[in-house]
Amino acid sequence: MTTRSCPCGLPGAYESCCGRHHRGAAPAPTAEALMRSRYSAFVERDEAYLLRTWHPRTRPARVDFDPGMRWTGLEILETGGGSAFHTTGTVTFRASFRGGSLHERSRFERVDGAWVYVDGDFLD
């Protein structure tokens, strides 16, 4: 059996990194950790996790994955707030895919103690 590295870019195996969040074994402790786990969920096409970690007021009914999309990397550019001591946070990132990249500043809030994605602004 081979161990897959985590798509989020942190060293370590998927199962012990973002995979544990996807399985519900541990909540993401920071806004950045949630951002990384959501990126990995897009790579893995884990709709249930994405919807579960989306703020109720902005959550779509479903996630439409582009079958041709191939995510190739995540770069965290800046974080603001989002620690265990905050109720809100932002994460600015660049997510690369075959043929381009997505640059976004995402907003996160805590709902019932858990970090959730609220929305984001596309940059450049």
The single-letter DSSP state of residue 84 is: T
- Single pTM value for the model: 0.96
List Cβ neighbours of 48 (8 Å cut-off, separation of 6 or more). Answer: none
C-alpha span between 25 and 19 (Å, rounded): 9
**pLDDT per residue rounded down to tens, the chain (124 residues):** 568 899 999 999 999 999 999 999 999 999 999 999 999 999 999 999 999 999 999 999 999 999 999 999 999 999 999 999 999 999 999 999 999 999 999 999 999 999 999 999 999 8
